Amino acid sequence: MQNIEAVIQFLNQRELSVTTAESCTAGLAAAMMADISGCGTALQSGFVVYTEEAKHNYLNVSLQTIQTFGLTSEEVAKEMAIGALHKSSADIVLAITGTAESDDDLNGVICFAYAVRTPNGYRLLSESKSFNGDRNQVRRAAATHALVSLPVVYEKIQSYPEIPSP
């Protein structure tokens, strides 16, 4: 899948809905989906949780997780995805957190997590990637990567173990 139109088509054909949980991309992935005609069935909702407080208050990301691993971590991305899955009825959540602009080695490092709802819980996959460019180039590249990865992630995650819901 090379473009977002194809991703929307993939989701619509399988009657799958997506919720986004976005930090550094600040809703860009959801907006990119909304740019596509026919996205109304595929795009359910989006959470923009830029601060630690927002991640904790809206998606139940543990402050301990944030303090232990930092905002740019797969652990935080996973908790964002799980929190958004519990707050929505979407089939898939994609979560994005990272550093689009900094003067240290985390510059351009973005963490992604994908949660897929199952009958008794969910399946979870995470990854980190580095992107080059200025702040907005990194944000756009991260949002695009998260979206175009959805079909591959959805197929791959089917073989992952199911995590029971609490």
First to last CA, the chain: 34
Structural domains for the chain:
4-164 (3.90.950.20)
pLDDT at 1: 40
pLDDT at 10: 97
User: Block means of pLDDT (10 residues each) for the chain, length 166 residues?
Assistant: 86 97 97 94 97 97 96 96 97 95 85 96 97 95 97 95 88
H/E run at residue 156: helix 150-157
- Cα separation, 75 vs 31, whole angstroms: 25
CB contact at 8 A, 51 and 23: no
Task: Say what the pTM is.
Answer: 0.95
- Cα separation, 153 vs 49, whole angstroms: 23
Residues 6+ apart with CB under 8 A from 48: 22, 23, 26, 27, 54
pLDDT at 2: 55
